[in-house]
Amino acid sequence: MPLQAVTSRGLVLFERPYREKDRLVKIFTEQAGKRMFLVKNSGQSRLRSALQPLSLADYLCKINPNGLSYLDDYRDLEPLHEVSQDIFKLAHATYAMDLADHAIDDGEEDPALFAFLTQILQLMNQGVDEAVLLLIYETQLLSRFGVSLDFSHCVFCHRSQQRFDFSFKYSGVLCPEHYLEDEKRLHADPNVLYLLAGFQEISLERLQGISLSAETKEKLREFMDAIYDNYVGIHLKSKKFLDGLSDWGEIMR
């Protein structure tokens, strides 16, 4: 099958050496999904400034449906300097990209996910709280892993606006009248579930002024980790590194 010429906005997810002088670069493209590109003689290539992770640009590609694809050129490069130069932002961004890489198959077109991920990274670059952005991203990404959870309505009576708790047994929230249906309910902070219900629907355009306390973010993180452990079940090196930053993050900041 002949190579297909495509010009698409793309985000570099990662790159690694290949043979002596070449590199493999994985790019999430808006129009052709995630693809692995072979860049020959990468050290001397005119493309090298657009091959680093977090590079966002319009890439002129030759797409191979059954193997490695190739890059001809790029334009309108948007490097996310504020993210790449801050280890905390970078760790959050790397995990976000890693999740996208695992959420859909290579070659699967998903322009909505591409737009969502790039907007999350651009907001991180603009100074919006990376921890909150990641939580919103993880909440809305659950559907890509086949997970559908309702944090707004009791699984038994479907009432809303209650002091909910979460039940892994019933994969949903319980109102106070139905707490006893699950003796092993999570005893989660109701505010965490209220925020997650909002995160499922929130538009990123409304995030510039969002602010949560460190305690609230910690509770949200613990709950989201439990959700991913129980329903998604992937364990990524990027997440392990991100978790490790919490042990000495305040010293570095």
Instruction: Note whether 121 and 137 are within 8 A (CB).
Output: no
Q: DSSP assignment of 71-97, as one string?
A: EEEEEEEEE-HHHHT-HHHHHHHHHHH
In this model, does residue 1 exceed pLDDT 70?
no
- What per-residue confidence (pLDDT) applies to 249? 61
- CA-based nearest residue to 188, from 210, 172, 212: 172
- What per-residue confidence (pLDDT) applies to 96? 98
pLDDT digits (tens, 9 = 90+) for 114-146: 999 999 999 999 999 999 999 999 999 999 999
- CA-based nearest residue to 214, from 131, 137, 135, 151: 131
Instruction: Note whether 25 and 37 are within 8 A (CB).
Output: yes
- What per-residue confidence (pLDDT) applies to 206? 74
Which amino acid is residue 8, in one-letter code?
Answer: S
Where helices occur in the chain by DSSP H, the ranges are 81-84, 87-103, 111-125, 130-141, 190-201, 214-227, 237-245, 249-252
pLDDT band of residue 205 (cuts 50, 70, 90) is confident
Average pLDDT over residues 42-53: 88
pLDDT digits (tens, 9 = 90+) for 153-171: 999 999 999 999 999 999 9
- What per-residue confidence (pLDDT) applies to 178? 98
Predicted structure pTM score: 0.93
pLDDT band of residue 210 (cuts 50, 70, 90) is confident
- What per-residue confidence (pLDDT) applies to 250? 55
Average pLDDT over residues 15-32: 94
Average pLDDT value for the chain: 94
The single-letter DSSP state of residue 228 is: I
Share of the chain above pLDDT 90, in %: 87
- What per-residue confidence (pLDDT) applies to 19? 85
